[in-house]
Structure 1
Amino acid sequence: MAFTERSRATDGQLDTEFRSRDTSGFQLHQLAAIGDLINDVGEPVRAFGPTAAALHRFDGYRLRPPFHIVIPRSRNVRRIGHAVHTSSAHALIDCETVLGIPVTAPARTLIDLATTDTPQMLTAALDGALRDRLLSEDFLHRRIGDLRTSGRHGIPRLLAVIDGMEVTRGGQSWLEREYLRLIDGAGLPRPRTQQVLGRRGDRLIRVDFHFEGTPVVVETLGYRWHRTPHQLGIDAQRVNRLTLDGRIVVQFTYQQVTAEPDYVVTTTAAALMPFVGTRGSPNPFG
């Protein structure tokens, strides 16, 4: 198996400059070694985990033994000095080649790394992958949504890392932006974001979305689908206070926003129906 070019490129072709840049950070004997291992094991096999991360040039990862590879569970392969993982299947969308070496794609690699690596390592890897345009936030969340039901244990840890990065940089989260995209696409009125609508004791109640001129409030419940009893208690107090103040509170989970967009849109529309028309219809609130 030759490993002289990389298949991931925006136009499907690699010029000399790109090819040179791709190989500049690798020791050639390590590239040869992982290529020899892949050839020795035979198809189907892919570089996996930290080895795939190094080939993708994720920040904090170096190409060095022990190499990590993944094969179908139906195969029984061992190689002394290397880590052989098994998986039920890899969708084509999760497969690429880098320098001729089959690897898991960047999004799938991040999801796999989240099973074992520290939040600090994941943060650096994700930040660098986004910076280098190896993936987009939108695509990563699509893959997280698709793979969540298959029992990927690292997904909650990766979502916690994403959550922490978004808090640090401020502004709207990806989940909030995605909700707005769904609402805009459906022709519904655009809500105001991050509105203070009341108090819970000595704390302000800030909601994700408020549709101005209506009592309708929408909350996106963040990336954590397993919430602690303390978090559940705070959420209940907030919703109770808003309800007592006459608000209609609608909540959507991460899974619903990413995997059930029709439900999100129709539920929002149903909540707004008594108060406001869609675009192109008379709006009693201005």
Structure 2
Amino acid sequence: MSRIDRRLIELASPSGYLTRQRAYDAGISARQLRRRAQVGWIDQVGANGFVLASERRTKTVDLEASIAEIGGECWASGATAAALHGFDGYELRRPFHVTVMRGRNIERAGVRVHTTKEMPRIDRSVTNGIVLTSPARTVIELARSLDARRLTAALDSGLRDGGFNEDLLHRRIVALRSKGRYGIPLLLDVIAGLDATRGGESWLERAYLRITAAAGLPKPATQQVLTKALDKLVRVDFRYPGTNVVVEVLGYRFHRDPSQLRRDTERVSALVVDGYRPLQFTYEHLVESPQWVVETVRRLLAQISESPHTSGLGVVRDSDHGPAF
């Protein structure tokens, strides 16, 4: 085996593919590449790539060749990235899905080219030498085209295999949905459904408990029924024992419909009339502004501690379990 042959093996990806440019950058000339192809050491794949003759031509090689042919910033994405990340129910097949920066007009046989305004580093990944969207970005993109059942399977795969954790996924959802990305409402519905089937606290509730505990705030009681509003029980997410401070987290939805707004108003009004000091925080507050959430709760608890009758409201004792219904 010649020095050039050994160098080609070193340069090739795990699937045996290497680009012409990668070989040039390593000091291997076009003439040397042609010679290795003539003697059957490498096989040309497209105009800009080769595969080691000792390796079987696979779909992975075809994908690498497609990305090399497109050139520039190009990432495997969508169902193709899902297969590379090992999401349940996906296998690598044509048409390959790739994403490039907006403004490029590209068409390739067997490839679906998507565009994006930006691809921050946190949304990029590399698997076996192939550049692709990160697991979290992949799930968010899949939400545009999947039904709830398949999206749930993809979400479970990413969480199970450590591709992302819930905190990272929620940070990326908040960042990307502010840009009007289609499909995120379905993804949030799927997450809410998983929270419900698991039982116990939702991610939002766990996030609130985690950030307030880390800040040294007292631990609140959870899921407390405190009063009624128009004959409907008012259950709050958190109540701080020994005070009239209650906290609610408002769910994943960016916009609340008129019936939800009306119900929120009724609930808050009933709580205020019964002497409680309600605070409400949105999904975005918990993800993007946790320090503000902590300081807001801390300030109100301090007010109650310094003056139990602030604003004419008394302290609700631990023994009080709300009014008799």
Normalising by structure 2, we get a TM-score of 0.75
Residue 131 of structure 2: aligned partner: 102
Give me the whole-angstrom Cα distance separating, in 1, the residues matched to 2:297 and 2:226: 19
Q: Partner amino acid for 1:166?
A: D
Q: Which runs of 5 or more structure 2 residues have no equivalent in the other structure?
A: 1-10, 16-55, 307-316, 319-325
Residue 255 of structure 1: aligned partner: 284
Alignment partner of 1:75: what SS?
A: coil
Are 1:51 and 2:80 counterparts? yes
Larger Rg: 2
Q: Partner amino acid for 1:244?
A: V
Give me the whole-angstrom Cα distance separating, in 2, the residues matched to 1:176 and 1:132: 24
Residue 66 of structure 1: aligned partner: 95
Instruction: Check the 8 A contact 2:76/2:133 in 1, yes or no.
Output: yes
Residue 167 of structure 1: aligned partner: 196
1:202, CA displacement in angstroms?
A: 4.4
CA-based RMSD of the aligned residues comes to 2.0
Alignment partner of 1:274: what SS?
A: helix
Q: Partner amino acid for 1:155?
A: I
Residue 3 of structure 1: aligned partner: 13
Residue 20 of structure 1: aligned partner: none
Q: Partner amino acid for 1:80?
A: A
Identity value in percent:
49
Match of 1:184 among 195, 199, 213: 213
Q: Partner amino acid for 2:190?
A: V
Residue 135 of structure 1: aligned partner: 164
Q: Which runs of 5 or more structure 1 residues have no equivalent in the other structure?
A: 6-26, 278-284
Are 1:150 and 2:160 counterparts? no
Instruction: Check the 8 A contact 2:249/2:282 in 1, yes or no.
Output: yes
Question: For 1:53-101, what per-residue CA distance to the aligned partner results, in whole angstroms no more than 9, with x for missing partners?
Answer: 1111111222111111011113221112321011112111111111211
Alignment partner of 1:97: what SS?
A: strand
Instruction: Check the 8 A contact 1:208/1:220 in 2, yes or no.
Output: yes
Matched pairs, number: 258
Residue 231 of structure 1: aligned partner: 260
Give me the whole-angstrom Cα distance separating, in 2, the residues matched to 1:201 and 1:245: 14
1:206, CA displacement in angstroms?
A: 1.3
Question: For 1:176-230, what per-residue CA distance to the aligned partner results, in whole angstroms no more than 9, with x for missing partners?
Answer: 1111122112222111111111223443221100001111110000101212212
Match of 2:152 among 120, 123, 147: 123
Normalising by structure 1, we get a TM-score of 0.84
Instruction: Check the 8 A contact 1:3/1:35 in 2, yes or no.
Output: no
Q: Partner amino acid for 2:79?
A: P
Alignment partner of 1:275: what SS?
A: helix
Q: Partner amino acid for 1:151?
A: G
1:102, CA displacement in angstroms?
A: 0.8
Residue 15 of structure 1: aligned partner: none
